[in-house]
Structure 1
Amino acid sequence: MTRTTRLTATMLDDAARFLWTSGRVLEQRRFAHLFGTVPDPAGVLAALVAHRCADGGFAFGIEPDVRGPAPQPIAAPTALLAMEEAGALDEARAWPVCDWLAQVAAPDGGVPVVLPSLRPYPRPPFLPVPEDGAKPVGALLATGQIVAPLLRQGIEHPWLTAATAFCRTAVEELGETHPYEVGAALRFLDALHSLGSAPDTAWARSAAARLGALVREQRIVLLDPARPEEARTAPGYAPGEHPLPHDYARTPDSLARDWFTDEELARSLDHLVAAQQPDGGWPINWAHWSATTESEARPGVTVQALITLRSYDDASRA
């Protein structure tokens, strides 16, 4: 592999300036832990406390597009991934979350994206809220993202067993899809693949290959940033809201890396570098429905950009 360094010291300094100026406490703590001189897992966990609810869920804007004090399933991935980054996603911390998810899950183990309890609070127009009293319907978009870090860390819980089976079935049945659903399916497949069990690994690789074919056939990836007209905007997405290869293959060990040629991935990563804004942060590419949520989402997008760029730099030096 050709040695390539995209994340320069200047870029990192500019991103740090943006995060210290505009970042939420959670992203500042994550940045300090992941990119600081001394890892600080306790700081990450302390930042999560403000978003934790008594019933085991998470709320209070931990997911910037989901406001209010009522915990929502789609808020859980942010919390679980932060715990995992801190090396602190153990059963003592995971079980309360799983217990809460079991209470709001559908009978098949899948969890909805959001619950009727979100209705009184501000929310984006692209996020439908179930009616009060409606039976829960599981969604791969939420369930796949939640299950992935729990699987990677070897968590065992009755709900997780059912949710894992739900995700396998949902992935197998995927047909017409959209980028966020693909991303959730991929997070699940990458986690299952990482466990190293021969049957699971083989199934995950096969399922990922089929998923990658769907992504290319349905043109829900922008393979060349200079040719946006070649990608299809999924229904309900903002104009120009096209994921690039690096948005799927966030790290070089992702199963999605095989979906793209070296040239396609290089273009994608170069575009990611060029997308850093003058203030040091990266922009969001989804619908800007609220200035506050945009400003709160950009720090998380910035940390993810740094993680992706560093992971590919490290791989090129291996």
Structure 2
Amino acid sequence: MTRTTRLTDTRLDAAARFLWTSGRVLEQRRFAHLFGPRPDPVGVLAALGAHCAPDGGFAYGLEPDVRGPAPQPIAVPAALLALEEAGALDAARALPVCTWLAEVAAPDGGVPVVLPSLRPYPRPPFIPVPEVGAEPVGELLSTGQIVAPLLRQGIEHPWLTAATAFCRAAVENLGETHPYEAGAALRFLDAVPDTAWARKAAARLGELVREQRIVLLDPDRPEEAQLSPGYAPGEYHLPHDYARAPGSLARGWFTDRELARGLDHLAAAQQPDGGWPIHWARWSPFTESEARPGVTLQALLVLRAYDAAPES
């Protein structure tokens, strides 16, 4: 793919204005650490600390669609991402998280998306909450995203061993799927140490994604992609939503042209205020405003990663 600069100084400056104006403290700290003149991991950790629950989980709106003080598994990926970016995802910090996950996981190691403890608090209608007293049911959507950074950093824990086996079995048995689940599977495959198995499994996953048309290959032809049940109008996933960096196993799923079209579309999607929009259901204006800074940071990271990729 020919080198193209999509993350221009103008685009980055506009994003910075948006984040300094509208970003939560965590996103502002992450932006300063990742794009500022000097890395600031201490600032990232301080901001993340406000979302820590006493039992090792994360809450208080770290995942904007999940409100309240009760920690939820779906908030853990954002916490691990911040820790990893700060170079602080070590055994000492991972231990309380893994211990908490072991307590809420199903017997097979899989973790639910959310727990019954979310029931008293605001949440979107598209997140089903288990009944109080129900046995936990693990899901690849949540477990894959959580396991991936822990594997990348070489963390060891009995729960992680079980969760890794859960993800491997779930990926091998994956059939009808949807973009968020397929993305979680891909995050796991990009991190799992068994690279030979991961390459084979990723090739099959890529075939599923294309066969089921859960990727929008041409932004000008949305009718060629399939919206999954329950998704909002326009909630499509493009090639870069799977292959977030050139080194991802999902990069081989797409031609240079398909990827370039998606990246061009991503760059052009920057809004007049400098931020990027969300595409899932807008169930609350407040949570949308809290989600956009994270979406904006993700867009910047994707564009930067591909700008830095060698020419091909």
Return the alpha-carbon distance in structure 2 between the equivalents of residues 316 and 37 of structure 1: 24
Cα offset for 1:317? 6.2
1:124 counterpart residue number: 124
Q: Output aligned runs, 1:77-116, within 5 Å.
A: 77-116=77-116
Return the alpha-carbon distance in structure 2 between the equivalents of residues 31 and 148 of structure 1: 22
Number of corresponding residues? 312
Cα offset for 1:3? 2.2
Does the Cα contact within 8 Å between 1:65 and 1:124 map onto a contact in 2? yes
Pair 1:305-2:299 in alignment: yes
Cα offset for 1:2? 2.0
CA RMSD of aligned residues (A): 0.9
Return the alpha-carbon distance in structure 2 between the equivalents of residues 317 and 170 of structure 1: 35
Q: Which amino acid aligns with 1:72?
A: Q
Q: Output aligned runs, 1:3-152, within 5 Å.
A: 3-152=3-152
Return the alpha-carbon distance in structure 1 between the equivalents of residues 144 and 106 of structure 2: 14
Secondary structure at the aligned position of 2:150 is classed as helix
Q: Which stretches of structure 1, 4 residues or more, deviate above 4 A after TM superposition?
A: none
Pair 1:234-2:228 in alignment: yes
Return the alpha-carbon distance in structure 2 between the equivalents of residues 302 and 136 of structure 1: 33
Does the Cα contact within 8 Å between 1:250 and 1:308 map onto a contact in 2? yes
Map Cα deviations across residues 68-114 of structure 1 (whole Å, 9 max, x no partner). Answer: 00000000000001000000000110000000000000000000000
1:293 counterpart residue number: 287
Q: Which amino acid aligns with 2:42?
A: A
Return the alpha-carbon distance in structure 1 between the equivalents of residues 266 and 65 of structure 2: 23
Cα offset for 1:240? 1.6
2:173 counterpart residue number: 173
Q: Which amino acid aligns with 1:133?
A: G
Does the Cα contact within 8 Å between 1:4 and 1:316 map onto a contact in 2? no
Q: Which amino acid aligns with 1:212?
A: G
Percent of paired sites with the same residue: 82
Does the Cα contact within 8 Å between 1:70 and 1:118 map onto a contact in 2? yes
Query: Which structure 2 residue ranges, 5 or more long, are not aligned?
Result: none
Cα offset for 1:239? 1.3
Does the Cα contact within 8 Å between 1:29 and 1:43 map onto a contact in 2? yes
Q: Output aligned runs, 1:154-169, within 5 Å.
A: 154-169=154-169
Cα offset for 1:4? 1.4
Return the alpha-carbon distance in structure 2 between the equivalents of residues 240 and 229 of structure 1: 10
Return the alpha-carbon distance in structure 2 between the equivalents of residues 127 and 119 of structure 1: 11
Which of 258, 268, 282 is 1:264 aligned to?
Answer: 258
TM-score with structure 1 length normalisation? Answer: 0.97
Q: Which amino acid aligns with 2:310?
A: S
Which of 229, 234, 243 is 2:237 aligned to?
Answer: 243
Return the alpha-carbon distance in structure 2 between the equivalents of residues 236 and 50 of structure 1: 32
Pair 1:254-2:248 in alignment: yes
Query: Which structure 1 residue ranges, 5 or more long, are not aligned?
Result: none
Q: Which amino acid aligns with 1:126?
A: F
Map Cα deviations across residues 211-235 of structure 1 (whole Å, 9 max, x no partner). Answer: 0000000000100000001111101
Return the alpha-carbon distance in structure 2 between the equivalents of residues 156 and 294 of structure 1: 36
Return the alpha-carbon distance in structure 1 between the equivalents of residues 231 and 125 of structure 2: 11
Return the alpha-carbon distance in structure 1 between the equivalents of residues 52 and 93 of structure 2: 11
Does the Cα contact within 8 Å between 1:59 and 1:71 map onto a contact in 2? yes
Return the alpha-carbon distance in structure 2 between the equivalents of residues 250 and 66 of structure 1: 24
Map Cα deviations across residues 122-172 of structure 1 (whole Å, 9 max, x no partner). Answer: 000000000000000000000000000000000000100000000000000
Cα offset for 1:316? 3.4
Q: Output aligned runs, 1:203-222, within 5 Å.
A: 203-222=197-216
Q: Which amino acid aligns with 1:213?
A: E
Return the alpha-carbon distance in structure 1 between the equivalents of residues 176 and 139 of structure 2: 14
Return the alpha-carbon distance in structure 2 between the equivalents of residues 316 and 11 of structure 1: 21
Return the alpha-carbon distance in structure 1 between the equivalents of residues 39 and 307 of structure 2: 20
